[in-house]
């Protein structure tokens, strides 16, 4: 790719957040088109489970018919899906990160059952893997892997949602020191109705946020009624009440007072997996839109022939493709770091946790990217269906309702946007990520005449666009950080600016990831013509350029003024100069490819 200023560090493997300052090469990313034989076999097995076992039972799942969701968990366990990410010593398969991402992707069409699966295998099992004692792991993980033990995660309370550490549930050590007496209330707990164990967070002595493993049959643990939800009706969501529940001291998870580490670190993987499930669900909804557009006849022709419909189908594909590209790229980064850590002597659990933590910025962004791509896709899928989309007879209405929760749980999208920038700035201040040097290089570049050098290579313009996006981000972030250091700005109180910056991060991550994937595809044999992938890339960059300009402008005018603002806005024009493509023609090419295949074939 075109090189960034010479202050940019080049490494073989990007560290977390370094995608904004370092170069990447196509060969460093993983794309789904290069699955190996084993991965394809596992992907096909997962799809067969969804199509043959799960989809026929969706009506029962949606009605919360007793035993159905749990029965499907057991069937998934028999296929190894519940332990694909777990060590072999507990009965898991210890598959690599990319393969686990493929599984989550393929499980995306599983409707509300994905909540059951994700809550159990993610936030239910990972706290024990990461923080459990050897005894706790041996006691609970084998059963969780074979489906005999179902897990739930109890964090949210009526008074504490995004502010998790404000929890009021309390745990006090008994006089004889053998157990903690747990009192409190948790709400919005997925899997609550059929869980056997609950990962519960409470304040020891009122001020030490701590995790516990609480078994269902303990006296004093009771459940509220099933919540009447807008969507994901097939998942069990209840309140959980604790009244003088005696939790053995052996069931403290991790260290007393260190529960925040469990609560926050587990969410990195949860956010990443949520993106994968959203991408898989989006592809499924796109297929229903494509097929209905081919079937629905109006004015004596299929509505797929109309430009307005082609726009929707193509835009669905562009957003899915970009999200999927960023997801698998990050998956590969996590996998590489995981392998490196194990090679250095880290345990399976420590390597898994640390590699996910390293890419906390990317995981937060991917949660936003995946959930918002899905929201767009299900909305337009319903629109393509017209009146039938509003009927519960088809799947469009259910997908529309089910999608909405994804922007709320695992941290709201607003929280994840703010978190991504907060993590970026913290890493910069701690010296873990050098953005000062590259930001200063951009400032010096703005003081010089624009280069007349023209991009070279088939994707030279696109490489330059990506690097210019990075420069725009560094310019805005650097200027805001300097004003904060000068005491003229308090970014903690300027959430709008932080969200502007996070939206720019989203554009950079998706655009560069899409470019790397398209470049890699250019050197592969494939069923789809390269021109279709080029159309996706160039349409995405055309639109992303406009979005980058708006986000950067909105941020700059909110904190800069006078000559500084004028200089910044003039400089910004250098970094949003991608030559527009004929997006109408490009979208028609993309849509025609999907329509001819009658499938999401990308």
Q: How many residues does the chain have?
A: 602
Cβ atoms 96, 49 nearer than 8 A: no
Question: Under DSSP, is residue 83 helix (H, G, I), strand (E, B) or coil?
Answer: coil
Q: How far apart are CA 6 and CA 273, in angstroms?
A: 35
Alpha helix (H) residue ranges in 522-582: 530-559, 562-574
Helix 583-597 × helix 307-343 angle, to 10°:
80
Q: What is the DSSP letter of 602?
A: -
Q: How far apart are CA 602 and CA 600, in angstroms?
A: 6
Interior/surface letters 501-518, b for 16+ CB within 10 angstroms, e for the rest: bbbbbbbbbbbbbbbbbb
To which H or E segment does residue 253 belong? strand 252-253
Q: Which residues lie closer than 8 Å to 105 by C-beta, 6 or more apart?
A: 32, 43, 276, 277, 279, 280, 324, 327
To which H or E segment does residue 74 belong? helix 68-78
Residues noted as catalytic? 410
Residue corresponding to tokens 């056997």: 196
- SS3 assignment for 532-544: HHHHHHHHHHHHH
DSSP string, 156-219: -BTTBSS-GGG---EEEE-TTSSEEEEEEEEEEEETTTT-SEEEEEEEETTTEEEEEEEETTST
Q: How far apart are CA 489 and CA 476, in angstroms?
A: 13
DSSP string, 287-354: HHHHHHHHH-EETTEEGGGSHHHHHHHHHHHHHHHHHHHHHHHHHHHHHHHHHHHHHTT--HHHHHHH
């Amino acid at each position: 790719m075109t090189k960034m200023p010479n202050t940019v560090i080049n490494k073989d493997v990007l560290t977390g957040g370094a995608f904004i300052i370092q170069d990447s090469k196509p060969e460093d990313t993983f794309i789904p088109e290069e699955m190996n034989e084993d991965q394809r076999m596992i992907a096909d097995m997962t799809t067969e489970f969804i199509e043959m076992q799960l989809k026929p039972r969706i009506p029962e799942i949606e009605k919360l018919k007793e035993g159905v969701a749990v029965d499907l968990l057991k069937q998934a366990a028999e296929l190894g899906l519940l332990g694909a990410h777990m060590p072999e010593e507990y009965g898991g398969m210890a598959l690599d990160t990319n393969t686990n991402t493929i599984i989550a992707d393929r499980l995306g069409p599983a409707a509300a059952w994905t909540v059951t699966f994700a809550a159990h295998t993610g936030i239910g099992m990972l706290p024990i893997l990461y923080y459990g004692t050897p005894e706790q792991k041996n006691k609970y993980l084998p059963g969780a892997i074979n489906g005999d033990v179902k897990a739930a995660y109890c964090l949210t309370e009526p008074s504490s949602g995004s502010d998790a550490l404000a929890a009021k549930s309390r745990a006090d050590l008994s006089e004889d020191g053998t157990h903690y007496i747990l009192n409190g209330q948790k709400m919005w707990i997925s899997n609550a109705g059929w869980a056997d164990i609950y990962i519960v967070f409470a304040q020891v002595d009122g001020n030490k946020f701590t995790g516990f493993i609480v078994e269902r049959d303990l006296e004093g643990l009771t459940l509220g009624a099933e919540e009447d939800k807008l969507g994901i009706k097939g998942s069990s969501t209840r309140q959980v009440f604790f009244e003088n529940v005696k939790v053995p001291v052996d069931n403290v998870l991790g260290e007393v007072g260190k529960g925040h580490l469990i609560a926050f670190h587990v969410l990195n993987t949860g956010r990443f997996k949520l993106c994968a499930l959203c991408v898989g669900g989006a592809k499924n909804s796109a297929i229903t839109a494509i097929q209905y557009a081919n079937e629905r006849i109006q004015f004596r022709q299929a509505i797929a022939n109309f430009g307005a419909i082609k726009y929707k189908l193509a835009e669905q594909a562009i957003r899915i493709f970009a999200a999927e590209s960023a997801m698998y790229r990050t998956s590969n980064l996590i996998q590489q770091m995981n392998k490196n850590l194990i090679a250095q002597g880290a345990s399976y659990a420590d390597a898994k946790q640390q590699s996910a933590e390293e890419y906390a910025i990317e995981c937060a962004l991917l949660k936003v990217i995946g959930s918002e791509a899905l929201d767009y896709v299900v909305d337009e899928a319903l629109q393509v269906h017209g009146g039938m989309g509003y009927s519960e007879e088809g799947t469009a209405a259910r997908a529309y309702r089910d999608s909405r929760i994804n922007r709320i749980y695992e941290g709201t999208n607003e929280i994840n946007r703010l978190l991504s920038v907060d993590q970026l700035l913290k890493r910069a201040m701690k010296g873990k990520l050098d953005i000062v040097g590259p930001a200063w290089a951009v400032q010096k570049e703005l003081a010089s005449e624009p280069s007349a050098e023209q991009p070279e290579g088939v994707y030279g313009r696109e490489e330059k666009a990506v690097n210019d996006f990075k420069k725009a981000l560094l310019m805005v972030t650097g200027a805001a950080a300097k004003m904060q250091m000068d005491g003229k700005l308090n970014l903690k109180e300027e959430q709008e600016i932080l969200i502007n910056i996070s939206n720019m991060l989203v554009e950079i991550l998706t655009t560069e990831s899409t470019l790397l994937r398209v470049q890699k595809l250019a050197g592969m044999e494939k069923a789809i013509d390269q021109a279709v992938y080029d159309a996706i890339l160039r349409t995405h960059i055309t639109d992303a350029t406009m979005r980058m300009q708006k986000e950067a402008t909105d941020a700059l005018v909110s904190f800069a003024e006078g000559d500084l603002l004028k200089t910044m806005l003039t400089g910004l024009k250098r970094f949003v100069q991608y030559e527009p493509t004929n997006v109408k023609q490009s979208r028609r090419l993309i849509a025609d490819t999907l329509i001819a295949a009658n499938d999401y074939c990308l």
